[in-house]
Chain A
């Protein structure tokens, strides 16, 4: 699984690419894989304000509907409007064409709470491995 180096990550499985005052936001490879095939995306509109840790949109997969949480606060300046018609882009290319919104950050300090690719990879391993100690039970025949 890939977690590009230049990105920052949230524990809610969003990634952030910082370009000056603008943050480009999407969901991670791990998130899309856990969700499964995405069939519907709900995104905010340009000009809307989003608040760090609050839901700014939602993705619906064949399994479930999940909120997407804002990793930073700010104003939405651009939305990936190809996603509503082709939500599978998020599955196919989560870090590229599957980006969701661009936000002009109101407080760059928000970035301090985000983690690096390496830390995120470790976090994902932890998530996957939770409760592994119960494994190895005798199989009933």
Chain B
């Protein structure tokens, strides 16, 4: 089997492929006799050719197959998910209930404004509360993800600077930034200038001053940064940037540490994006699309995407007439269902609840940091905010790396933390527990990490060859990336059973 499955080491029994099950002629349903007869009248040239190897199974077999596959999924609803920088918090079910209200879920996106007043009111209110939380003056909800929020924010900055006479050429990005920051800058036509953080993992105003000139459009800062450290110098940095006519952009990916406690808008930030799928509990990935609203200070409001929602005399309208706008960045109103969920989350927690959520996120992260300190090397000694970054330095002496530790965690039933990011930390293990985990869960995870560190000393091979209990063992990631096999195809020399199966099919047709 390994001959046609590069990248996957099938050492243990995996669930059979659907192509391997069933029997020719088996089916999940049967045509009534009349239907079957009428089918015979369809001219043969209009019938699709048989698909070689197409599986033929009963309904129950198919059901069991996909149920079995679904059990291989890992999600926050099954286990702890401490993926650093991703804020994998629980997505409360009340959000789902609200998003399914027929007044929201059955709306047609082309319905005229007078028929969708409730939806417009929700969007208007959500813009308002997000502006309040971020300390910004206006918010657009259109961007469909964090990175699109970044691009939208940079387009707004570019439009503003262009009107002032020069869009400028460069964006400053610290070495701890998410990869999306330089990518968004490049996409927006800017050149990226990277600056190094200091030995405490922070950006220094003096370092910014060295590279800040009138060619720099903006500095993109993440606060707290990806090391989980609060950028204490943010106001001084803002001053340096503003003095040369640049703008300060805040990547709000880590806003979960600040909600209700501090407002980026009070720290000199001009543009901010917020990841609703992180901080505001809307689903990640397969659970739903994202949303990356952008907040701005009022001097930038002419450039916001259109249409904007305006509150008239007791009703809401969509206004496109903003000639300086960067235009529309997303069809219709962004990912509306996600916006409804975020609104439900904010309203159900209230301002006190949001603040407590952030405080608990900080507490949980620091609890884990303390539990693991000493067993694992901490990249920076600073107290952390919502996440902390460890390294594999103590384990490397036994030839065990971060990747091995991450793989071994799978055997203990945990999703590994983010690994090898941020790039400034060699062998990084970035742990973000979020506020929605109990102390028992945090203890269980810490105990697993400590047990692995002990295994590294006593039996490093056990860790180096992990995982041992998962459906597939260590994946050959390099080969999977170099020569990916994205589609199953029957091949000559496959098992007798399948050859017989497909030859029978051929005989039948």
Residues of chain A contacted by B423 (CB below 8 angstroms): 64, 66
Instruction: Identify B478's interface contact among A62, A66, A138, A140, CB under 8 A.
Output: A62
Residues on A with C-beta less than 8 A from B375 are: 137, 139-140
The answer to whether A135 and B179 touch across the interface, beta carbons within 8 angstroms, is no
How many angstroms between the C-alpha atoms of A38 and B381 in the bound complex? 32
Is B303 close to A, CB under 8 A? Answer: no
Q: Is the CB of A62 within 8 A of B421?
A: no
Asked, given contacts A139-B374, A139-B375, whether A39 binds B393 with beta carbons under 8 Å apart, the answer is no
- Given A63-B420, A134-B378, A139-B375, does the pair A88, B394 have CB atoms closer than 8 Å? no
Does A5 belong to the interface (CB within 8 Å)? no
The answer to whether B179 touches A140, judged by C-beta atoms less than 8 angstroms apart, is no
* Interface residue ranges of A123-141 to B (CB < 8 Å): 131-132, 134-135, 137-141
Indicate if the CB atoms of B421 and A39 lie closer than 8 Å: no
B450 touches A140 (CB 8 A): yes
Kindly list chain B residues whose C-beta atoms are within 8 Å of the C-beta of A131: 377, 393
A40 on the B face (CB < 8 A): yes
Q: Is the CB of A37 within 8 A of B478?
A: yes
**Binary CB contact string for chain A from 47 to 68 against chain B (1 if under 8 A, 0 otherwise):** 0000000000000011111100
**Given A139-B453, A140-B450, A62-B373 contact (CB < 8 Å):** no
A39 touches B478 (CB 8 A): yes
Interface residues of A in 64-106 (CB under 8 A from B): 64-66, 87-88
A137 touches B481 (CB 8 A): no
B482 on the interface (CB 8 Å rule)?
A: yes
Cα distance, A21 to B110, chains bound together (Å): 66
> Is B59 close to A, CB under 8 A?
no
CA distance A140 to B481 in the complex (A): 38
Q: What residues of chain A lie closer than 8 Å to B378, measured between beta carbons?
A: 134
- B402, chain A: closest CB distance, angstroms: 9
- Interface status of A34 (Cβ within 8 A of chain B): yes
A64 to B378, CA, bound (A): 21
Cβ of B426 under 8 Å from chain A: yes
Q: Which residues of the partner chain B approach A134 to less than 8 Å between Cβ atoms?
A: 377-378, 381
In the complex, how many angstroms separate the beta carbon of A30 from the nearest chain B beta carbon? 11
A62-B477 in contact (CB<8A): yes
With a cutoff of 8 Å between Cβ atoms, the chain A residues found around residue B381 in the complex are 134
Cβ contacts B359-389/A at 8 Å (1 or 0 each): 0000000000001011101100100000000
Which residues does chain A contribute within 8 Å of B374, judged by CB atoms?
137-140
Minimum CB distance partner of A60 in chain B = B481
Across the interface, which residues of B come within 8 angstroms of A137, CB to CB? 373-375, 377
Distance to closest chain A CB from B184 (angstroms):
15
Cross-chain contact B377 with A87 (CB below 8 angstroms): no
Chain B minimum-CB-distance residue to A38 = B478
- In the complex the two chains form, what is the Cα distance from A87 to B478 in whole Å? 10
Pair B482/A140 contact, Cβ less than 8 Å: no
Whole-angstrom CA separation of A108 from B381 in the bound complex = 44
Known A37-B477, A64-B420, A65-B179; judge A88-B482 contact (CB<8 A): yes
**B residues near A38, Cβ cutoff 8 Å:** 478
Contact of B421 among A34, A64, A66, A139 (CB under 8 A): A64
Q: How far is the CB of B456 from chain A (nearest CB, A)?
A: 11
Q: Which residue of A lies closest to B419 (CB)?
A: A63
- With a cutoff of 8 Å between Cβ atoms, the chain A residues found around residue B453 in the complex are 139
Which of chain A's residues has its CB closest to B476's CB? Answer: A37
The answer on a CB contact under 8 Å between A39 and B373 is no
Query: Quick one: which of A34, A39, A139, A140 has the most chain B CB within 10 A?
Result: A140
B394 / chain A contacts, CB cutoff of 8 Å: 135
State the Cβ distance, B476 to closest chain A Cβ, in Å: 9
Residues of B within 8 A of A138 (CB): 374
Q: Which residues of A contact B179 (CB under 8 A)?
A: 65
Interface pair B426/A34, CB less than 8 Å apart:
yes
B229 nearest CB across to chain A (Å): 15
With A65-B179, A137-B374, A139-B453 known to touch, is A88 a contact of B481 (CB < 8 Å)? no
Q: For the complex, give the distance between the alpha carbons of A135 and B377 in Å.
A: 7
In whole angstroms, how far apart are the Cα atoms of A105 and B377 in the complex?
A: 43
Which residues of chain A have C-beta atoms less than 8 A from B421's C-beta? 64
When C-beta atoms are compared, the residue in chain A nearest to B401 turns out to be A36
**Looking at B179, B423, B481, which has the most chain A CB atoms within 10 Å of its CB?**
B481
Which of A34, A63, A132 gathers the greatest number of chain B CB atoms within 10 Å? A63
Across the two chains, which residue of chain A brings its CB closest to B423?
A: A64
Q: Which residues of B contact A140 (CB under 8 A)?
A: 371, 374-375, 450
Further 5 A-B residue pairs, CB within 8 A, beyond A40-B481, A134-B378: A62-B481, A64-B423, A135-B394, A139-B375, A139-B453
> Which residues in A have some Cβ–Cβ distance to B below 8 Å?
34, 36-40, 61-66, 87-88, 131-132, 134-135, 137-141
**8 shortest A-B CB distances, which residue pairs?**
A37-B478, A137-B374, A39-B481, A63-B420, A62-B477, A39-B482, A138-B374, A140-B375
A-B residue pairs in contact (CB < 8 Å), sample of 12:
A37-B478, A64-B420, A65-B179, A88-B478, A134-B377, A134-B381, A135-B393, A137-B374, A137-B377, A139-B375, A139-B453, A140-B450
